[in-house]
Each structure stands twice: as C-alpha cells, then as structure tokens.
Structure 1
C-alpha cells in the first residue's frame, strides 16, 4: 500500500528483483507508479479488498491506519500485514548491510555509497529515498552489500540491526509536541536521540562523523567504530580541500596513510563529508578506493539534492530538498561556493517545524544575497495561528538583511525572478514541498 511513495516503490523494486511477485496500490497516479508499471509491477489506483487476491504479505507504512478497510480485509483473509520497517529488518539481516542514519544528508550519502561501491567493483543492492540518475531508480538490485537509507521519522527504525551503521549527525528534526505528536514526530529530542543510540548500538560496527559534536556518546561501550571527517584526529580524513564553483577536490587518508585523491562533484563542505563517508565505507568493505573516487567524481547527486535544473539568461538554476535549518545552511553555503549572486527561494515545510525553528531558519538564510519566502507547505498539517513565513522575514530584516521578500504564491515568485534575473545568478529553490516547480518553470523544463 502506498507503492507510489519513494520508500515503498524502492521496496517493490528490490523484492521483484529478488524473485517475488509484487503488486501495489496508491491513492493517486504518480511518475513512480507509471515507472513501476513499465517495469512489470502491477499497480492499481485506489484501495480495494480485491487487491488482496493471491497476496501472501501486505506491506504498509506506519502512516496507514491499522483500521484502514484494506488492512482490515487482509487480516480477515489471514494475509500477513507487515510494516515497512519489518521488511527493512529482513533485508538488512539477509547479508552484509550498511544502514545510513542521521537527521540530514542520508539520501545523498546513501546514493554516494551505492555509486562508490559500484564504481569500486562491488555489486551493492541499494534502498534510497531519492532517484539516483546513474541507476535511473531509487533502488538497485545487487548481490551485496545492501546499503539502505534509514528513516528516523519512523520510530520503528531503532529496532533495526545492520552490519555497519554510518552515523552522519543527530539534530532535532521531527520533534513534536509531548502528548500530541503525529506519527512522523518524536515527542522530545532526548527520545529521538535515545533511538539513534539503540540503532547504532545494535550494529556490529559504526562509521561516524568526527566533525559532528557528541556522536561518540551514542556508541555502545567497546563498540568497534571508525570516524570520518575534515578535522584532525578522524580515522578517515579529507584534507587539502580545494573548492571550486562546481565542487571540491580533496586528499583521502586512513589513520595517516594517504589512500588517494577524490572529488565531491557538488559544492559545499557537507558534500565533502558525505563523499568521504561513502569512500570510507567502501574501503571497509574491500572496494578499490581509486575506482570509487573516480565514480564519485562523476556523480552529480540524487534528484532534488543540489539538482541542476537548467539555466535562464545565463543564471544557473538549482533545486534542493533541504527543509530544516542545518540543511538550509548547508545549501546556502554550497551556493556561495559557486561565486555567483545567491538567490534562495525558500518554502518552509510543516507548521509545527516552522513554529519550532523559524529563528534558526532565518539565521541559516542570512548569508544569501537575496531570499524569497513562499507560504508554508502544510504537508497535511492544520495551520497554527500566528505561524507563517513572515516570522522568518521579520527576523532577517531585524538582523540587517536588505533583500528579503515575502511572496506567498509561487506565481508571484516566478514573475519576480523572471523580471530580475542576471547572468551571474544562482537561483536555488529550497524546500520539501512543491517549490521545485518554480525552478522548472524558470528553466523551461517540463514536469
């Protein structure tokens, strides 16, 4: 159920590649449902008990109510109903596995890991929360290792066990209101961080970011672990960073021994760290680091992560899914590395997240030359009185920013950008909602 989603469509592809007969349904037609049909997976639009004929296992995310008529019908028919995290647990346990966890950077790092391992001569299977252009998919069928993006918004993630955990960071995203939290929220940051510790503690070994403060405190006593980062003291280190407008070249070493040269083909320090994590994990699994680095040097990232949409009158148009303050700050930093005039079109995501973090969102946007703020993308949440994008705009004005515009409707932002574009601009659409459509309109790209 929900086969048109980025996660369940990846499960469908992996299971079909492993020889299972797979079908699915979703409420609406999407690009992914169309692609799945082309790949030979039966997809129905809408929900009905008739979908269960001949089905042994029904897989549904935790977001689907256990009282949904299709799930009720499955139980009455004796069909096993399995949550998606139970399926993930089975896949992780089926052989060598790498689980990538953290509050941001998971999709890019998991994509880089799959590309690096494949380039290094390994044959990874992959589960990713985004489309990898090199594979044309959000999944890859391979003999292993199985590399997977682990979604901390599903609280069942803490029960999973993988061979190697790649631990990127631990921020405070997906935190709700105690006693009133939705399925995608944790009640407190302490509860979320305890879950990270459980997941990491279950792994046989851990590769963690040396540059993110406090991550060693999440490890189990005596746990086998390696660190990676740009700071001195990391086991795997990126040094001699040489940034340019398109990305960053760097030297890779392991415990003081140089392994070779590498390139993150997207700007931003965070992408150096992501690429280093992928190279480190590939090295741990016996892959050829030089070949892995060459593959990463050609990898421009998954879709909606610093995605090059096109150009308009010499301006570069980029799209990025960033939606919490740390991610937004990283994207603004990457944009500054291009040397262009940085123009950010930001659409806040969810009312509760905006209520909790609008001051930090404002601060993260300050280094941009110009910021255009859209209305909040609700993502199914009810509005919260007094919470809107003007809070971000006012704080930025109060902090001294001279070019912040509140243009609540996408059409307003589009018209403004079309009338003010310069050849030296980089225009970045930022957010987890539908802000991406503006970039495609600007570039004349169909969607």
Structure 2
C-alpha cells in the first residue's frame, strides 16, 4: 500500500475530462471550506469564495491568492463553472438560484470530498469525537514516517501551518457526520473512532432525526471502504462495521489488532507501548494528556503501519505533536497558571477534557460555554455530570449558533444541577469581563484554566493569557 500514485491526480480507466476552470465556494471562511479552497487551488483550479464576514482565515486565503468577497450576492456566480455550497445553505438562497438559472453546476461539499477521496489511496476518519485530532495525528505520523500525505483537517495543524496539506498521498480526510451526505462517500481505509448521539434531533440541515439514522450512515461509510480500523474500546462499533470488507481494531481492549499497553501517564502526556497482534512495534508517546489522546495516537500509528511507514519515525513525530487548534491548545499562562483552550462541547468530550486536566496534577478551573439551545436541551444533565470532576466551573451563557432560544433552556440548568449534586465551586457568570477580572485576581501557579466549548469562549483564553485573538 506504500506504492501510491500522486495525489490528487489518479489513473482512471477512461481519459479524464478537463477539470472545471472556476470553483466558487460559499462560506469559504469556514474551517472545512477553506481547506477545500486550498486543495483545489493546489490542483491548478481557479478558486474564489465568499462569506458573511472577513476573518483571519479569509485574510490568509487572500494572501495565498484566493479572492474572497465579503457578503453574498448573485453576481458572485458570473463566470463560475461550479458552485460549492453546504447542505445547510437554503435551496432558495439568491446565489444558488442565480447559479441554477445560469447553468452553473451546484455541488454539495460532500461531493467534492468524495471526489478527493476516490482520486487515490485515501483514509477517511469518522466518529462523533476525536476526528480532528486523529486526522491531524495520522497526517503528522505519516509525514514523520517518510510518507507524503495530503490532508483535509477541521482545524489548523501547527506542523503544516494550515488545515490542508498538499502531498502525493495517501489523502487523509476528516469526514464530518453533521453533513447527511457523508455516508455515501468512498475511501480506501475508514478510521472509526466512536459513535454517539451528537447532531441528532431538531429540524436543522446538519442534524439527523434519530441516532439510528445517523449510525446507519456510519455503517454505510464503513461498508464502502476497502478496510476499516475501528476502536475496540467503544461499545457497538464492531456491529456497525459488520458490512466492511476487512476489519481491524485498535484500543486497550484485549483482542484488538493494535493495542496500547503499559501506559505511563504524567502531567504532560502519556508514554505507552504499541503491539500489533501480540508483536511489539515499539514505544510511543503522546504529549497531550488524557486516555482519549492515547487512543487517537494509537489510531495514527496503526494507519501509518498499514501504509508501510517507519514506526519509530512516526512515533517520534507524534511525541512532539501538540495538537491542532482548539484541541487542548496551550494558549499561554496567567500568573503561572496554564491556560488551555478546548473545543469540547458535548458530555463525552467535556468529560475527556476534564480527565486530561486532572492528569496534569493542577487545580482544574473550567470556563464552560454551552453550545446551541437544542444540544443543551438534549444533554444538560450529562454536561453537568461531566463537569463535576473539575475543581471550579464558571458557566457562560449558551452560544446560540444561529438557533432561536428554546423556552426554559438556559445555562443555569447546568450550574444548578451541579450545585444540587454537591459541587461547591460552580457559578453561573455570564459577564465575561467579570470572568476575566476574577481569574486574573485568583489564578496561581498550581492552576490549569480550561476555556471549553464550540462557541467563541476561545477569545477568553487569549484575553486571560494576554495573547492576540
């Protein structure tokens, strides 16, 4: 599997038709769409895009030669061959209407990702948690092992300085289950981290009606792959992988094909040994705390091994890996306290982040921003329970993420349940200036402060650490 053709070109049976000359991407400032823009530009395709507002990402794209228009307008589709739009964009959006009227091909993001995955040897990472970190680790491990991966990541990977990497392959991609079309994609190797009930319920385009419907899509994705590598530690994944042509597993569980054994956690991460079907491949280290990161690193080392990469070099690359943006990101310090920012926004991710913080041996102080009214309505008891392991929790208001408020759903549901459960260090503190003032006055060298959530809580971490946003 190491003799891979260059990515993204492939060798189809029939002569290829010339690629469309101009792609226009709506929402190009998004972390995923901006990665598409970079990958397309690397193929020599003309790329442009638009978004509701400018951002650091759109400014970076413009510096790279990709024009970005601020705002949306039907005039953007003039001279365009293909318009890429998320399924969340309403079908009656003026740009989509103008594109169809002009005969411009309108394609969803998943169609473009499918094209990239099919172009050569590819690895698609799915699961409710850990996709961004695992995808980043696979790409970093492969690069360290002497391979030349291309990558599509839902976060900025420090080693690449980007959310995309251009390489000859294999192509490693994060596949987001919030897009209903993901189950129809085809890749060579599917990496399946876990399956829970996130992005379920409600009538939004990015939500599934039932968890069963979502998990059936996971099973379809796995069934299309040549092989699947799934986490043996997560209940139920083996069943969802029943339709796969070839199954391999990873985890701490006995019987897993790739196993992490002899774990030695410390304040900075975990050292462990990797076995493949009883044979020791070598020692590895992940410089991110938490058992979940051991599993993420194990998946990366397993994939690199499957593609013929050098294990020792891959392990060395992972040992220095500090994580993608907003995934246990070390922002700086405040009065000697370590300031971390983490994207954790559902109960399982929150519990994993709290466990990682506890592993440091410091006093754990969390600033938590619940994300979306619907998600809070569905899971506030679990969120509260997941936060109980922190020494102190400051609760911000819910980040709406364009949702309308739901009567009776408020951030105090989380703080009240924690207080009723006996937690003496929880407070609802919606005034951000007050949060910053309080932590500046009370932070000390024995603390770890974690800003946590999928909204804009990350801005507080920068303010606390005194670094640019």
Q: Structure 2 length as normaliser, TM-score?
A: 0.93
Cα deviations by residue, 1:374-408 (Å, 9 ceiling, x for unpaired): 11000011111111111111111121111101101
Partner of 1:94: 119
- The count of corresponding residues between Structure 1 and Structure 2 is 444
1:301 to 323, 328, 353: 323
The aligned residue for residue 205 of structure 1 is 227
Q: Residues of 2 paired with 1:358 and 1:53: CA distance?
A: 46
> Take 2:124 and 2:359, find their aligned partners in 1: how far apart are those partners?
30
Aligned match of 2:87: 62
Give the SS at the match of 1:386.
coil
Residues 240-260 of structure 1, C-alpha deviation per residue, up to 9 Å, x if partnerless? 111111110110110000111
Pairs within 5 Å for 1:240-389: 240-389=262-411
Q: Quick one: distance in 1 between partners of 2:30 and 2:142?
A: 26
Task: Please list the CA deviations of residues 20-56 of structure 1 after superposition, one character each: whole Å capped at 9, or x if unmatched.
Answer: 1111111110111100011111111122233223321
Partner of 1:42: 67
Residue 64 of structure 1: how far off its partner (Å): 1.1
CA distance in structure 1 between the partners assigned to 2:213 and 2:314 by the alignment:
37
- Tell me, yes or no, if structure 1 residue 395 matches structure 2 residue 420: no
C-alpha distance after superposition, 1:114-162 (max 9, x if no partner):
1011111111110000000110100011111111000000101011111
Where does the alignment leave 5 or more consecutive residues of structure 2 unmatched?
Answer: 1-25
- Aligned match for 1:26, one of 43, 47, 51: 51
Question: Structure 1 CA distance, aligned partners of 2:265 and 2:255?
Answer: 22
Cross-structure match for 1:82: 107
Higher deviation after alignment, 334-343 or 184-193: 184-193
Secondary structure of the 1:442 match is: helix
Shift of 1:221: 4.1
Pairwise CA distance, 1:413 = 1.4
How far is 1:222 from its partner?
A: 6.3
Select 2:152's aligned residue among 127, 145, 149.
127
Match for residue 107 of structure 1 among 132, 135, 145: 132
Aligned partners of 1:401 and 1:119: how far apart in 2?
44
Whether the 8 Å CA contact 1:100–1:110 is kept in 2: the answer is yes
Equivalent residues of 1:318, 1:428 under 8 A apart? yes
Distance between the aligned counterparts of 1:76 and 1:395, measured in 2? Answer: 53
Distance (Å, rounded) in 1 between the aligned partners of 2:244 and 2:212 = 23
The separation in 2 between residues aligned to 1:42 and 1:33, in whole angstroms, is: 9
Residue 417 (structure 1) shift? 1.0
**2:124–2:187 contact (8 Å) kept in structure 1:** yes
- Residue by residue over 1:327-355, the C-alpha shift from the partner in whole angstroms, topping out at 9 and shown as x without a partner, is 00000000000000000110000001001
Report the CA distance between 1:419 and its aligned residue.
Answer: 1.6
Distance 1:397 1:79 in 2: 56
Unaligned runs of 5+ in 1: none
